[in-house]
Structure formats: structure tokens, C-alpha cells
Structure 1
């Protein structure tokens, strides 16, 4: 890429506790490789279309602010869920995007996000090829759902997994306070892939207890059969905790909690109320106390429980994404290639964006228990390294500090 060209970076999709560390990595990489101007698009590609662009030098003007950014949850630049149309010659939306990129002398666009964000990189790079543009397009993965193919894991998953496992261990403690029969359902994010719900198993160690059952979207749920299993378990112990994915399906493949008729911008069906649904059914059928807990957005951006492994890797993959663009790559996503579990080691590589966009990766059946109500050691060996380590907090007035919000 010519030295005079600038870089623009955006964030898209759901926020995480690590996405800003990737942003810090992109900015630091750009400065390391001599890119003079680093712009940020406010609210992703949708903000770029509205020319909502900021100069990141105005806020990331010190090492301290970059460290604050790494510790700041959610998407610092703001996000969007905007689906670009199929690229075609003369398309007005693409013409506008590339006119804006030329106006700001952009030589590289880096987009940090998940499945839908990689769809955006795929389409932009395809259109660039159609019009013989030299602008390079790099995807940096991000999603707590951990459902991107090719990559061993995604930045954001490790910190979310750490939060979920910690919360589950505390919920188990809370559920055991009273001498009565109870079932607590803890709803965890995950539409078609159960990586986050499976992470609840990490709560179990020599000091803490984990959930009694883990219900994953990869396994169709026989609800009547599961209620019988619960009834038998209640004969053995008073208090049961069930980690349940928001996206669990029945044996016919239908979402149990589907919000009929409502979809998002990418056509995904809206889900809600899985834990509440399960709690009401079990209370009616078994006549025991039930509780529904929906962790909801808390699991996405819990910076007070960041995994140091996650934050370090998020920074590095953003930094090396810039390096890939400098070296001439375009239409690629950076990814982790795991070399070793013990000691844990992953290498950052790049792959063709067409291998990633609009494809979801589920938990392998061999990592799920035979009865379908939990995970086995293969999953634990995979996930445990990703939650390791803690970042030192930067505290003000007793509260963890974040970088100042953009106006």
C-alpha cells in the first residue's frame, strides 16, 4: 500500500469485552507501519455511508488511552447491523462508499466483526475487484458466539466464557441456600451454536460446582423426556441449575422461544424468553420452585472479567491484520490456528473471506456428552486456555475506568 494512503476501521455486530482491544491493535499496527491517518467509521458501514468519520489521533493520542481502550467494553466506535446488497456494477450504494473512501484517501479498510461483518468484507472486496480499485479490505474476527469457521476461536469468546463460568458458579451457590426443591434456568446467548452455553461447564473445578445440565442448540430437545430426567434428578438433590442456550430447538428443528414473524436486518429470527418458557413448563409439570435468569447483554461486555489471553490475542490479531494489508492482502480474514493445548499456543494466519462469510461453526458432536445434556473433556481442554489470565484494572473512584465515550 502506498505510504500516502490512509486507513479506516469500523466495528460491527454485537459488542464484546475484547473488540476494542482489536481496535487498539489496528491503530497501533497502522502507526507502526507508517500509516499517517487512521480514521474510524462511527456505527460501522452504515455510518460510513453517512460520512460519520472521526480521526482516531484525536482520542488515541497516548499509550495510556490505548491501554484504557483495551480495557473498555462494547464497541468504542459504535456498531450497526447493516446488510449490503449484492455487489453489481453501477450500484449506487457501492459507488457512494468508494467515493467516500477516495475522498479520505483510504488505502485499507479494516472491519472488526462476526459472520455478518465478514459478509460486508466479502462484498466490498468483490466490488473493488469489479472496478479495479486498489483499496484493500481486511476482516478481523470478533464474536462472543465463537461460531466463525476456519478460526480456532474468536476474540471476545474467552472473556464472555470467563464471565459466564464465574456467574454460573455464583448462581449455583445462591440456588443452594434454601432447603427446598428448585430448578434454576440460566439463559445464555447462542442462536445456532452453543459455545457460550457450553462454557458454563468451566465453572466446575475442585472449589466450585457447575450446572447440572447444559442444553445446547446442536442437540434437539425432547422436552417431555427432559422433564422426566429433571424429576429423577430432584429425587437425588434439592437444587438444580440448568444452563440453556437461547437458541435451543425441539426435535423438529424449531426454536423453542421463537418470536413469530420478527427478524433482524440479516434475516435472523428474533429469540427471547427461553429460560422463562422452561421455568414455567417445569413449575407446572413438577410442582417445584423455578427461577428464570437471563444473563442477556451482561455476558457481552463484562470488562471486569476480561481474559488476559483474550485481550492480548484480540490486540495482536488487529495489529497483524494491518500488516497483512500492508503486504498486499485483500478479501481476507485473520484467524487463529491452534498449535498446542498444553502449553497453549495459537498462531495468527489469514484466509480467503469466502471461506468464512455467512457460515456458522457449531460445537462438534464428539465434544458433547452422549446424553446431550453436557460437554466432555474435549470441550474443556479446548476452552479452558481461552479464559486464562486477568488484566490489571485502571480504577477511578473505586470503579474500573474506560476511555471517554465518543460524542
Structure 2
């Protein structure tokens, strides 16, 4: 028994609905008797096998999209940790008794994440309701005329909905591709900072059609370097466009402002005239190479991390203010300073690096501090790859990530 008098394995097998359990890698972990009966497969043919090896696309029908849509739904659930109810889908399923013979089936799936204690997706519960017979009833000659008319309309609407879903999927994929190219074009690799190695990374969210407005920037000034990162609220081409405007504005302001607080004040005023810029977060750090002082200011952004040569990690969180445009009236922004010694590492990043669903932000910050301290001797390029590898959840990030590392 798995609980107080309840055998949950027996309950799972006795469920009247067709239910299967999948790993995040889309391998069948289990399936109840109803699922096996509905799909015409034995347990040996299903459990332990990759879903799309058991149910591949029909190679004889290039327009078949049911399996493609199912894969997108399952990957979305793994990435977001949220359930996804799919529209009615048409699937071509190979007959288990007659290889090469494909049967037209209509299934309505719901995919639900089962979460591990750390908030990651441990399993996927895949429930399927079959309506194939209803869809075929229009041609069976049974029932009254009104029933056949209604069934025919249902069949037509299902086909139309499937076509709309396919068009939306293609449109979203095109928008994502264009947004990623636009974002990368506006986020070039950094120029050399004298003898101080630096590395930058931009990683889009995994398994999602949403490209966000994360950015980074490095500005060389006489004896100083201004470094910034920011995150626009929203997704897609619009967010990428707003990101480009704000990044350019902050880059220009950093060249003439007295310090990072004043640069963010200028950006705040500018953002009020940019549609879609409200609630953007940003942080700016000015490195004074001669005095060995970091001056910083934050507009609602996660704090930069300064890893000292002895492994102590200091979060620059003493000059934090609300995001851009959050106040009805303009007010001066705070600014703070901290010193550094040769061999320290400065990390600026967006929230995709440290935030996870259903987890306190301090847990992510502690994870970042630990990874920085353990790997601080690595060169920035290697360290950037290490941090992304160690801090990215197994199912991938659900938010975009920008990262800047500078060896001080």
C-alpha cells in the first residue's frame, strides 16, 4: 500500500480514462489498462519505449500533424511546469496487427506535470479521450438526420481547428526565429576590455515560442567600463524591438552621465515615451579600474554578484529601486559603491539564470554564489559555460537568460 489503505498503483490501473505516465524525455514509464486497450498496444510494446517510436508520424501523409502538435505540448509542459489541454487532434496510428496500415484516430489529450520536490518536472501524466467513433458516425448511416448533421459539423470544426493550430504554430515559429536573429544582431560580442577578459551569453528559453527582451551592454569610458543588463516585460518581436531601443538609450546615457544612477534616471524618463517599456528592469555597474571601485544602481533587477579572490560572494544590493516607469513621478535613483581587488569576478545576469518556478529567489542566488565560488579560477568564457550548465534546470530554462562575466 502507498498510503493509508489506498493502493495507488491499483487505482491508476483501474481508472476508466486512458492515462499514461511519461518521463521528461518522453519515454513511457507506465500506462493503465484503458490506455493500452484504446491504443491497441501491449504493455511490452509501450513501457520503457520513446513515445514517438511507439506512435510515429505517418510517413505516407506529410500533412499529418497530430504527433507534431503532441510533441510541442509535452515539451511545453516540461519547460513550463504547467498543464496543457490540447484541442481535438487527428492522429494516424499504425495498426498493431498490420504493419504499414494506418488508422485515422481522433484523440483529445491533456498533459499534466508531476513535480519533484525541487520544482522540476519528474513525470508527465498524459490523459487521452478518444472520439474517433463519434467523428466516424456521420458516415455510418445510423441515427437521425439531426445527429448526423451535428456530427458532420463537429468533424468539420475539428478539421478547421486543426488547420488553425497548424498555421499558428508555423507563424509562432517564424516569429521566434526572426526575434532570435534580431536579438542576437543587437547583442554583439564585447570588445576587449584592455587586459581584463570578459564573456557574454544570451540563451533563449527552451521549448517555448516566446522570445523575451533580455539585453546586455559594455561601454568603454576613459579609465572606466560601464556594464549593464536589462529585461523587458513581454515576448516576441515587440519585446525584442523595445529591448533594442532601451539598450541603445542606456548605452548613450552611460557615456555622458555622472554615474550609473543618473544613467538609469535618463533611461527611466526615456522609457515613459516607449510603448511596452513599462516595468522593465535594469542594472548598471561602472568599473573604475584605477581606484578599484564598483559603482552601481539597480532598477528592480536581480543584484550583480562580485566573487572575491578568496571565494566570498558579495551581492550588489544596496542601491535597488523600482523598475522603469513604476513611479508616477520621476525621482532620483540610489547609487552605492564597493571595492574590489585583482582576481575578483563580476557577474551580471537576468532572472532566467537564478529563478525557478515554485522556488524562493534566495535559493537561486545561493546556487549562483556557490557555483561562482567553486569555479572562480576559470577563465570567463569557460566560467560562463559552467554557470549555464550548472544553473539551468534539467528541463531547460522557462525564461531567457543574459549573462556577463568580467575578470577584474
Normalized against structure 1, the TM-score is what?
Answer: 0.24
Return the structure number with greater relative CO, CA threshold 8 A, min gap 6: 1
Bigger Rg over Cα: 2
